[in-house]
Amino acid sequence: MRNPQLNAHGELIHLLSIEGLPQPVLTHILDTASSFVSVSDRDVKKVPLLRGKSVFNLFFENSTRTRTTFEIAAKRLSADVINLDIARSSTAKGESLLDTLANLSAMHADMFVVRHSESGAPYLIAQHTAPHVHVVNAGDGRHAHPTQGLLDMYTIRHYKGDFTRLSVAIVGDIVHSRVARSDIHALTTLGVPDIRAVGPRTLVPGDLAGMGVRVCHTLEEGLRDVDVVITLRLQNERMSGALLPSAGEYYKHWGLTRERLALARPDAIVMHPGPINRGVEIASDVADGTTSVILPQVTFGIAVRMAVMSILAGNEA
């Protein structure tokens, strides 16, 4: 079966997951994003690339922050953006999801930005939608968050250049994290030789090694001489049952403090997908420190989303 994200020419028509995307596609997105970083610096932060296009934000799972980044990205491309309050919409009147989407397609929608608590929902949508509609996964269950993965790669490339000589540690609640999953696929595809999944056994099970990462159950092993530390948000709201004693307990053992960060290379950058829990997965002085690139991640995130949307809009199914 053909990759549902690519057309017959191998061009991106949906962004559903980083898994399965060839390296040139990822690199093309990052290169395109470079040009949009300068757009956001200009006095008039607007380009007409999506003028007259209709972008629908379909957030079945609420996330004001991520929705906002897509809304800004689309508006800076001059698209018309429609935020659907999906919880109050026709699905509430008993209409099926696919009927709702067929209706939006019939309104000549050009793009669906989808967040959903069920893994795979954006795939289902891409599969059933009309050919003129492009689907962007803005996070599905524990599965994938590809634009976050891409903006993380943009950030790493911006600060560290060549991927093929890097050591990258991903620290924390990896098992519940779609960000970690997308990062691991992206880092692998881009040729990073040393990827470490770091955390307690409950959050970093040994079978993760199957994804091509080194599983580390101590910070000493996990952070030693890495170039990049990606700290994950402790997903309290996603955990079922008591996998962890408490936030305080977690910080004591796994929080990224200045002392622990000293294990990494002196020029190691610190990343986090946000929103951060200060004093839980990361110490405040590390989050605000000179090697933290957490806010640049946000800035690059707009450019990466502009890149994804403009590339998709240019390719025909």
Q: Considering Cα of 123, then 125, then 127, then 129, what sign does the dihedral take? A: negative
160 binds a second copy (CB under 8 A): no
Question: Which secondary structure element, helix H or strand E, spans residue 59, and what is its range?
Answer: strand 54-59
107 binds a second copy (CB under 8 A): yes
93 binds a second copy (CB under 8 A): yes
The C-alpha angle 304, 302, 66, rounded to 5 degrees, equals: 105
Tokens representing residue 189 in the block: 């595809």
CB atoms within 10 A of CB 97: 17
100 binds a second copy (CB under 8 A): yes
5-44 footprint of a second copy as x/- string (CB under 8 A): -----------------------------------xxxxx
117 binds a second copy (CB under 8 A): no
Nearer to a second copy, 43 or 207 (CB): 43
Q: What's the min distance (Å) between Cβ of 153 and a second copy?
A: 18
Q: How many residues does the chain have?
A: 317
Q: Between the CA atoms of 40, 156, 209 and 206, what dihedral angle is there, to the nearest 10 degrees?
A: -80
80 binds a second copy (CB under 8 A): yes
Q: Residue from 5, 57, 69, 155 that binds a second copy (CB under 8 A)? A: 69
Nearer to a second copy, 32 or 40 (CB): 40
96 binds a second copy (CB under 8 A): yes
Q: What's the min distance (Å) between Cβ of 31 and a second copy?
A: 21
237 binds a second copy (CB under 8 A): yes
* Contacts of residue 220, Cβ cutoff 8 Å, sequence gap at least 6: 263
Q: Residue from 4, 11, 97, 102 that binds a second copy (CB under 8 A)? A: 102
Name the phi and psi angles at 234, rounded to 5.
-75, 110
Q: How far is CA 127 from CA 130, 196, 240, in A?
A: 9, 34, 31
Q: What is the Cα–Cα distance from 72 to 105, expressed in whole angstroms?
A: 22
Nearer to a second copy, 44 or 242 (CB): 44
Tokens representing residue 303 in the block: 């450019």
DSSP per position, 202-231: TTS-GGGGGGT-EEESSHHHHHTT-SEEEE
Site residues for a second copy per CB under 8 A = 40-46, 51-54, 62, 64-65, 68-69, 71-72, 75-76, 80, 82, 84-86, 88-90, 93-96, 99-100, 102-108, 237, 274-278, 295-296, 298-299, 301-302
